[in-house]
C-alpha cells in the first residue's frame, strides 16, 4: 500500500519511537522556570517594539500544558486582548491536516501513495514539463517535453510533483503560474482550480526536485473525487468534528466570531509581492488543502496531540502508528536522489515527509532532537512535535514579515529552556 521503501523506513522509525517513548516521562527533558521566563520576555519585547500585535504560545508535554500564555492584542485597531478563542489564518499548517485526511483514505485502501494522480484527475495524464531552451541569438523559449513518469500521490505530498507556487523564481514556468492568478481563486471550486493547474506545464520532471507549491491543493481535490464530498465536508466528518476542532474551517462564516479574528500589524499584510493577507470573513468556494484553513490554538492542539499519540486521542483512533511513521519519515533523503531547490524551506538539517518537515540531523550549535517534525504558515503560525520529549509546541501569531526570524529565535529559546 505504502510502497516497500516507505514502509521499511516507517517501521524502522516507528520501532525506534516506540522504544524511545516507553518510559519517556522519566527520560524526557523538562523545562526550567528561568528558561520559560526568557521565552515570555522575548515575545513581550516583540510586542513592545511594535513588531507584532499579539501572540499565543502553548507547550504541551505528557498530554498536559506546561506553558500557556496569551500576549498582547488580537488586532491593534480594536485593542481586544489575545485569548484562547482567537482565530488565526493557518495557511500552510493546513498541509498536515490535508495529508492526514489523505492517509485515512490510504488506510482504507481507497488511495495509495504510489498511485498516479491521473487515476483520479485524468487531465494529469496529458501534462508536459516546461523546459527553457536558449537559441543562438540568446533568446529563451519554453519547450514542452513529455513526462518521464506519472505524477504520483507521494509527489503531491512531498512537493516533488513539479507544481510550483509561482510567486518566486523568475523562470518562464513560474511566470506562467504567477500569471494564471491561482491565488485569486476564491470563486473557483477545487475542481476548477485543479483544471487550471492541469492546463499549465510542470516546472520539473516528477520526483526530481523538492519545489514547494500547490501539490497539497491537488491532493485536496483527489480527496473530493474519492469521497464524493467537498474537502471541508469530508474533513468535518472524519477529523474536525470528531477531534473537537469546532472553529477550524476555510473562512469564518459566523459574524459573531469576526471580533475573534487575529490581524497582523497594518503595515505587515504582504504575503508576496502580489498577494496580501486575505479577509477570512468573506465566503469563498476554493477550499485550499494546502493553505486555506483558519482555526484556534485549542483546535490545533487537539490535532497535534493526536499526532504525538501516534494516531489516537481520547480513546478514538484516527490513523495507525505505522501510518504516522510513514508520514514523519524522510521521503526526500539521499537514497531518493531528490534535489533541493534554492528555497528548500525545511533547512539543511531536515528532510521532508508527507506534509511535514522531519529533523534528520542536529544543526551546529543546537541540541534539537532527531525525529522532530513540524511545519509553519506564511501568516506566522508554526507548530512542532518532538516525540523524544513527548512534547508539542504551537505558536500563533499573524506576521508575514517577521515569521522566520521569530520562529528561529523562539525554537532556540524553547529548547534552551529544556536544557538542550
Ordered by start, the domain boundaries in the chain are 4-103+230-417, 112-227
* Lookup: cell for 69: 500564555
**Predicted pLDDT at 7:** 47
Tell me how crowded residue 102 is: count the other CB atoms within 10 A of its CB.
Answer: 25
What's the distance, CA 406 to chain centroid? 18
CA gap 183, 284 in Å, rounded = 12
Q: What's the rounded mean pLDDT across residues 49-76?
A: 98
DSSP 334-386: GGGT-EE-TT-TT-TTEEE-SSSEEE-SPPTT--PPTT-EEEE-TTS-EEEEE
Rounded to whole angstroms, the Cα distance separating 9 from 64 reads: 30
Beta strands in 26-104 (DSSP E): 54-61, 64-72, 88-89
Copy the grid coordinates of residue 186.
476564491
Cα 287 from Cα 385, distance rounded (Å): 26
**Per-residue pLDDT at 314:** 97
Average pLDDT over residues 49-63: 98
198 contacts 174 by C-beta, under 8 angstroms: no
Contact of 67 with 31, CB cutoff 8 Å: yes
pLDDT at 9 over 80: no
Mean of per-residue pLDDT scores for the chain: 92
| Per-residue pLDDT band at 138 (split at 50, 70, 90) | confident
**So what's the pLDDT on residue 19?**
37
CATH numeric code, 112-227: 1.20.58
Residues 10, 321: Cα–Cα separation, whole Å: 9
Nearest C-alpha neighbor of 331 from the set 346, 311, 316: 346
Q: What is the pLDDT of residue 26?
A: 55
Least confident of 44-53, 90-99, 339-348, 360-369: 360-369
List the grid coordinates of 172.
518562464
The residue behind cell 518521464 is 148
pLDDT band at 12 (very low <50, low <70, confident <90, very high): very low
pLDDT surpassing 90 at residue 311: yes
pTM comes to 0.93
What is d(CA 360, CA 369) in angstroms, rounded to the nearest whole number? 9
Dig out the grid coordinates for 62 from the structure. 505528557
What is the model's pLDDT at position 161?
Answer: 98
Per-residue pLDDT at 105:
98
Identify the pLDDT of residue 59: 98
User: What is the widest separation between alpha-carbon atoms in the chain?
Assistant: 69
Between CA 292 and CA 159 the distance in angstroms is 17
CA 381 → CA 118, 343, 368, 402, distances in Å?
Answer: 33, 19, 20, 11
* Mean pLDDT across 375-389: 97
Least confident of 7-21, 168-182, 195-209: 7-21
50: left (phi over 0), alpha (psi -120 to 50) or beta: left
Is residue 366 scored above 90 in pLDDT? no
- Domain 4-103+230-417 belongs to what topology? Beta-lactamase (3.40.710)
Alpha-carbon distance 61 to 236, whole Å? 27
Q: Is residue 250 scored above 90 in pLDDT?
A: yes
Neighbours of 143 (CB within 10 A): 12
Task: Return d(Cα 203, Cα 182) in angstroms, integer.
Answer: 15
The helix/strand/coil state of 93 is: helix
Q: What was the pLDDT predicted at 212?
A: 96
Whether the CB-CB separation of 287 and 232 falls below 8 Å is answered with yes
Amino acid at each position: 500500500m505504502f510502497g516497500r521503501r516507505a514502509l521499511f523506513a516507517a517501521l524502522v522509525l516507528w520501532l525506534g519511537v516506540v522504544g524511545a517513548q516507553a518510559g519517556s516521562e522519566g527520560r524526557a527533558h523538562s523545562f526550567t522556570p528561568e528558561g520559560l521566563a526568557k521565552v515570555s520576555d522575548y515575545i513581550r519585547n516583540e510586542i513592545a517594539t511594535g513588531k507584532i500585535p499579539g501572540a499565543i504560545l502553548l507547550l504541551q508535554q505528557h498530554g498536559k500544558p506546561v506553558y500557556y500564555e496569551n500576549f498582547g492584542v488580537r488586532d491593534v485597531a480594536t485593542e481586544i486582548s489575545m485569548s484562547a478563542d482567537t482565530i488565526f489564518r493557518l495557511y500552510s499548517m493546513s498541509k498536515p491536516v490535508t495529508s492526514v485526511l489523505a492517509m485515512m483514505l490510504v488506510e482504507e485502501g481507497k488511495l495509495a501513495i504510489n498511485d498516479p494522480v491521473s487515476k483520479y484527475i485524468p487531465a494529469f495524464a496529458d501534462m508536459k514539463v516546461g523546459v527553457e531552451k536558449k537559441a543562438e541569438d540568446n533568446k529563451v523559449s519554453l519547450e514542452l517535453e513529455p513526462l518521464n513518469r506519472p505524477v504520483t500521490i507521494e509527489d503531491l505530498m512531498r512537493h516533488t510533483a513539479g507544481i510550483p507556487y509561482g510567486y518566486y523564481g523568475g523562470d518562464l514556468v513560474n511566470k506562467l503560474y504567477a500569471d494564471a492568478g491561482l491565488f485569486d481563486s476564491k470563486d473557483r471550486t477545487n475542481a476548477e482550480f485543479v483544471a487550471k493547474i492541469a492546463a499549465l506545464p510542470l516546472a520539473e520532471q516528477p520526483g526530481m526536485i523538492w519545489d514547494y507549491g500547490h501539490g497539497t491543493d491537488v491532493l485536496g481535490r483527489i480527496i473530493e473525487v474519492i469521497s464524493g464530498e467537498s474537502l471541508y465536508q469530508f474533513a468535518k466528518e472524519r477529523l474536525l468534528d470528531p477531534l473537537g476542532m469546532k472553529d477550524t474551517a476555510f473562512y469564518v462564516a459566523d459574524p459573531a466570531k469576526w471580533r475573534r479574528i487575529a490581524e497582523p500589524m497594518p503595515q505587515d499584510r504582504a504575503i508576496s509581492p502580489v498577494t496580501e493577507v486575505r479577509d477570512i470573513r468573506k465566503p469563498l468556494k476554493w477550499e485550499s488543502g494546502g493553505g486555506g484553513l483558519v482555526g484556534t490554538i485549542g483546535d490545533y492542539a487537539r490535532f497535534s496531540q493526536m499526532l504525538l499519540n501516534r494516531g489516537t486521542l481520547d480513546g478514538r483512533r484516527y490513523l495507525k502508528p505505522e501510518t504516522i511513521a510513514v508520514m514523519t519519515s524522510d521521503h526526500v533523503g539521499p537514497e531518493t536522489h531528490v534535489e533541493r531547490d534554492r528555497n528548500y524551506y525545511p533547512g539543511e538539517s531536515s528532510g521532508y515527509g508527507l506534509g511535514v518537515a522531519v529533523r534528520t540531523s542536529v544543526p551546529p550549535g543546537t541540541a534539537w532532537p532527531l525525529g522532530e517534525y513540524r511545519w509553519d504558515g506564511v501568516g506566522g503560525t508554526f507548530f512542532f512535535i518532538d516525540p523524544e520529549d513527548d512534547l508539542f509546541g504551537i505558536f500563533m501569531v499573524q506576521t508575514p514579515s517577521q515569521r522566520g526570524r521569530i520562529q528561529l529565535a523562539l525554537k532556540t529559546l524553547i529548547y534552551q529552556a529544556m536544557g538542550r
